[in-house]
Amino acid sequence: MNILDRYHAMEYGPAPEARNEADAWLAARDFGKALFIDGGWKAATGGKTFETSEPSSGKLLAKVSDASAADIDAAVAAATKALPKWSASTGYQRAKVLYAIGRAMQRHQRLFAVLESIDNGKPIRESRDIDVPLAIRHFIHHAGWAQALDKDFPGHKGVGVVGQIIPWNFPLLMLAWKIAPALAAGCTVVLKPAEFTPLTAILFAEICERAGVPKGVVNIVHGGPEAGAAIVNHAGIQKIAFTGSSEVGKIIRKATAGSGKKLSLELGGKSAFIVFEDADLDSAVEGLVDGIWFNQGQVCCAGSRLLVQEGIADALIAKVKTRMSRLRVGSPLDKNTDIGPLVDLTQLDRVKGLVAEGAKQGAVCWQPDAALPSSGYYHLPTLATGVSPANILAQEEVFGPVLATMTFRNTEEAIELANNTRYGLAASVWSENINLALHVAPQLKAGVVWVNGTNMFDAACGFGGYRESGFGREGGREGMFEYLAAKLPLGPVIKPATTSAQPVEQADGTAIDRTAKLFIGGKQVRPDGNYSLAVATAKGKLAGEVGLGNRKDIRDAVAAARACKAWPEATAYNRSQVLYYLAENLSGRAGEFAFRLTELTGATPKAAREEVDQSIERLFLYAGLADKFEGRVHQPPARAVTLALHEPVGVVGIVAPDASPLLGLISLIAPALAMGNTVVAVPSERYPLLATDLYQVIEYSDVPAGAINIVTGRSAELAGVLAKHDDVDGLWIFADADTCAKAEAESIGNLKRVWSGNGRGLDWASDEAAGDAFLRRAIEVKNVWVPYGD
């Protein structure tokens, strides 16, 4: 073949990465003593091990210590012992340690990259150019947060001992995402890497030794489900951070219910890759390669659903097939490889099974005509066309190099298709019209949206999802909050509600009997069951009756809240005006509400009037903050800006306390409304008339129908209904410990965000029971990446 022939063929020769240093590192270690606990290396109790193999060949790499529950106990004990001194250290002292870790990783970054590709199977270009540099970036970035903690997070401190469980698709990067903010916050760590990919975590533990990390601050324990369950259930751990499948995330949510543990979950995804007809198709194709075939599609935010506008569908699909035919499948240590092996035979079998099922359900699955290596867990890139929205390839996370394609006619249909998933992690929008892109991005139910790009990450920008993609954020300012706790003004333990004997009738028999109804969709309606609940005065007399709401009433209220578009779509300024108007109208009836408080609770007239005045003041506070608690603009080290937008959680269920029944109810409803949520509130079971008296105030305060819905009744029963309802996006509950725990456990259907008092009330009159801490619970942070330049 002459030079001209070679030029036209453009064939690549092999360009293997040297692995001799990595092999020498592997040969020099005793992986039977791979548990890093209290600054030392230990074997698992009983000497149990598991095997880790090379995905490109199936060859054994090492037999690694398999931690038992006893080993987890030892790691938690070490972290607990180290916590007081580490959390009491200055931000500067912690910053120096984080910086030292980052610098030490830089010195060994090539070894990290080669080990990652050997152990995981991802192409060396990805581990060398993306994973390792970004992991280093996280430690150096969070060194800055450590030193700025007191200034930027006043009143907060580290949550305590943190249990962290990470997956196998980004072993080192996920470790950095978890450990860096935890150390910056003053927490100590017990981290469990995935069984498939333990090697870079072991090298990282060696880095911790060299970088001067105090003993017990970082503990790394390897193992399988037993070790993971021991971390999740350990009473000595104050927070769990988990990245992995939605199924396991639900198990963890249920296991931690009622424990008081802080929880963040970064789970699966089925991200939409939306291409409009005015997009640069060649750029979109390259973005698509990065979106779905990056790391063999083993990415939680992989753009695995291609939604393309009908007019350009044929042209784009043709370009995609041409590009797929040129993807190089081969050794992960070859610098020319685009697609390496899947991590394990079980994963390969799963992907094959899903592709077969998708074809059975009507999808046309196309693969390029290419040979696979003779050994290893390889799967050809696959394009599925003719995919219906209900096809398994459009609904289930494949976690492999498989792209499902659908078409849309207009913008509204694109948004509807994109949101037709139980997940909500990421999305990509491709259009040369930035107005269109920024019109679509806020309407997508996803925690991250990339405009004309994909898989852009940075330590300064939060990452995380909605719905069954979990809750909480990693990275940036919002990621720091996941490892911090503010001291809320706790009140007394809340006792379970008891059904008391029917109170005696009022002495004055001249009053006209009136039973307060429910408030749903802007109207007062009778309860579905036509039962009522008697309400007693402080003296045991009958004050009145309220409707006894049931499951059907909650369903109606949630439907009304979901149907209310006027409130979440209103400007923050308009929401502010309505809240001010609510406060104004409540003020006009302050004497009436104070009298009712005295009648029902026995409070002195002075104390009752103070509670009403505080309720009005709280409405004023959130009215004023409605257009001031805003997002941010991040400037990552790339030609892009990241818009951290504050969005409402959605439909928020609220179970209000008996203590301070008016102030407690308003302190919960007002911040939720201020951020654009719609509310289904269950007021105090003992004093519900204070809520029913609010109906008229709401009706003449310009609150859109459905923005506030109130269902009176048994708090524990109705809390359970709200927890199980998959159209409720968040639940705030202040009730007895058992009711709170059950609500958390029953919330796993859609993994809604639950904030409970864990059986304790709050001092609702205190300044700490208001403000930013409540507003943060009322929002989701969506990071929209907007690149710029040619």
Active site residues: 266, 300
Q: What is the DSSP string of 469-509?
A: GEE--BSHHHHHHTTEEE---EEEEPPPP--PPPPBPPS-T
Whether 248 contacts 92, CB under 8 Å = no
The phi, psi pair for 337, rounded to 5°, reads -75, 135
User: Cα–Cα distance between 259 and 237 in angstroms, integer?
Assistant: 10
DSSP 434: H
Q: How far apart are CA 589 and CA 237, in angstroms?
A: 48
Short-list 106, 89, 189, 185, CA closest to 140: 106
408: left (phi over 0), alpha (psi -120 to 50) or beta: beta
Question: 642 is written with which tokens?
Answer: 């990241």
Query: Of all helices (H) and strands (E), which one includes residue 229?
Result: helix 225-233
Secondary structure class of 537 (helix, strand, coil): coil
Q: Which helix (H) or strand (E) covers residue 41, if one does?
A: strand 40-42
Q: Give the Cα separation of 546 and 516 in Å (integer).
A: 5
CA angle 184, 190, 196 (to 5 degrees): 115
Could you tell me which of 72, 162, 56 has the C-alpha nearest to residue 117? 56
Query: What are residue 533's phi and psi, to 5 degrees?
Result: -125, 125
Q: How far apart are CA 751 and CA 741, in angstroms?
A: 14
- CA-nearest of 395, 440, 390, 430 to 274 is 430
Give the Cα separation of 181 and 175 in Å (integer). 11
Q: Please name which of 118, 116, 55, 62 lies closest in space to residue 345, comparing C-alpha atoms.
A: 55
Element (H, E) at 646: strand 640-648
